Amino acid sequence: MGNKSTKEKYMFKNLDEIIKVIYTYSKNVFENKEINNDMLEFIINNFVKKEYTYDRHKITNDINIFINLFKNNFTKTLNIDDYDYNNKLDDGSYGVIFNYGKYRVIKIIQNEKKYIKLNINNSVCVYQCIYPWMYEFCSYTVVMSILNYIDEITKSKYSKMFSQIYEPFIHTIDEQTIVIGYIMRKYEITLNDEIKQINSMTDLSNGTSHIIDTLLNLRHLNYLRQLNIFITHRDMKTTNIMIHNGDILFIDFSFLSMKIKCKNKEEMEMSKNIGNLVATNEKYYDVIMFIASLLKYNVKYLKLLGEFINMDVEEQLKNILLMNNTALLNAFTIYNIYAFSTKYNSLIDDKLGSKEFNINLFSKIIELIKKIYGAINCIAYIEDKNFGKIKLKF
């Protein structure tokens, strides 16, 4: 399985090439009233896997439907009859994010066969759209980059304490600021009420909380982008990326019992209540945040990781990085390194924190990452029952 993922041939060599294309064509998608046929041809000819046999008419039609969502400043009404829900990839939820008006954002999800739109103005209402075909013929890199907001939401088996969580909604306050929250199932609340609870943080594990809110200042992200610093995200995918005025915006940073507080321009703090990891980023946000549970909550990566357990450490890391080349360092950061450096027979058992932490293996992986990507300039604090609180700077 792993070898197949790493050997797929795509039209673009790296993320830089994709970003250049996004900048080139973003105005056609986001500003022109008419669909740009050149862009349509470009998507079909250059962003489809070379070896894929596809129905050109169907793809053309689907891309037209997709681009129509973004015409006229994103205000076009979405018609769920235009989409095919029958071709689900796996169990789970699927969603798409698109702008509605100048800065507002809507997230549409499917949850337990119910179509739900988390609207910026109203309570939860029924709506849904998905693009199952994209996962079939486009590389993950392409889907993430040029067809911005479409991807499967990899919602696998959460632990019981989190089983009542909706997929997140997103609401933009202004050009620099967005609010991300999670709503419990069967709990309806207007987003205006939600926004009033910004910076609140409660523990879901006690069963009393229904919302986690995060206030994120996008100015920091734009600053980093200008410095060509790639940003670590706990869940890098199309539904968590937007393009606005030529800027790539990363959204949906909050996850489960995590909180992020932007105290000032020089400090961001991330605390995670699952496991024993606390990480603090320093200086220029070389790493904006660490992945919380990518491997833990993504069955595909869990299974692949299980296949790599017996390989050489360096070979394992390279394979995992290649599996998710869009995220680069995002796909294998501190939390995953901690889990990976702990002596599991299988991560699929979901018993994180129950085994012995191997600090030597952890350090070896860190050194390998530094060889591949250079210094990542952050401090990680790991609390381990055998080692106590460990401070690692790298």
Structure-model confidence comparison of residues 11 and 192, the more confident one? 11
Lowest mean pLDDT among 13-17, 81-85, 127-131, 383-387: 127-131
pLDDT at 363 over 50: yes
Assess if residue 331 is contained within a domain. Answer: yes
pLDDT band for position 61 (cuts 50, 70, 90): low
Q: In this model, does residue 258 exceed pLDDT 50?
A: no
Asked whether residue 209 is domain-assigned, the answer is no
Top pLDDT among 275 and 4 is at 4
- Give residue 41's pLDDT: 54
Average pLDDT (289-303) is 28
pTM, to two decimals = 0.21
What is the arithmetic mean of pLDDT over 47-73? 45
- How large is the average pLDDT for residues 297-316? 37
Tell me what the mean pLDDT of segment 340-352 comes to.
35
HEC string of the chain equals CHHHHHHCCCCCCCHHHHHHHHHHHHHHHHCCCCCCHHHHHHHHHHCECCCCCCCHHHHHHHHHHHHHCCHHHHCCCCCHHHCCCCCCCCCCEEEEEEECCCCCEEEEEEECCEEEEECCCCCCECCCCCCHHHHHHECHHHHHHCCCCEEEECCCCCCHHHCCECCCEEEECCCCEEEEEEEECCCCCCHHHHHCCCCCCCCHHHCCCCEEEEEEEHHHHHHHHHCCCCCCCCCCCHHHEEEECCEEEECCCCCCCEEEEEEECCEEEEEECCCCEEEEECCCCCCCCCCCCCCCCCHHHHHHHHHHCCCCHHHHHHHHHHHCCCCHHHHCCHHHHHHHCECCCCHHHCCCCCCCECHHHHHHHHHHHHHHHCCCCEEEEEEECCCEEEEEEC
Mean pLDDT across the chain: 35
Percent of the chain clearing pLDDT 90 (strictly above): 0
For residue 34, what pLDDT is reported?
42
Q: Is the pLDDT of residue 313 over 50?
A: no
* pLDDT tens-digit map of 266-279: 333 332 222 222 22
Does 377 have pLDDT greater than 50? no
Of residues 168 and 258, the one with the higher pLDDT is 168
The reply to whether 206 falls in a domain is no
Q: Is the pLDDT of residue 357 over 50?
A: no
pLDDT at site 57: 58
Q: What is the pLDDT of residue 118?
A: 35
Residue 248 covered by a domain = no
What is the rounded average pLDDT of the residues 324-333?
33
Q: How confident is the model at residue 256 (pLDDT cuts 50, 70, 90)?
A: very low
Range with lowest mean pLDDT among 194-198, 219-223, 293-297, 387-391: 293-297
Domains in the chain, number: 1
Domain assignment present for 310: yes
What pLDDT does residue 55 have? 53
Ranking 61-65, 92-96, 114-118 by mean pLDDT, the lowest is: 92-96
Its domain, for residue 341, covers: 266-394
- Does 73 reside within a domain? no
Tell whether 326 is covered by a domain: yes
For the chain, how many residues are written?
A: 394
Residue 230 has pLDDT above 50, yes or no: no
Work out the average pLDDT over 318-325: 40
Query: Within a domain: residue 329?
Result: yes
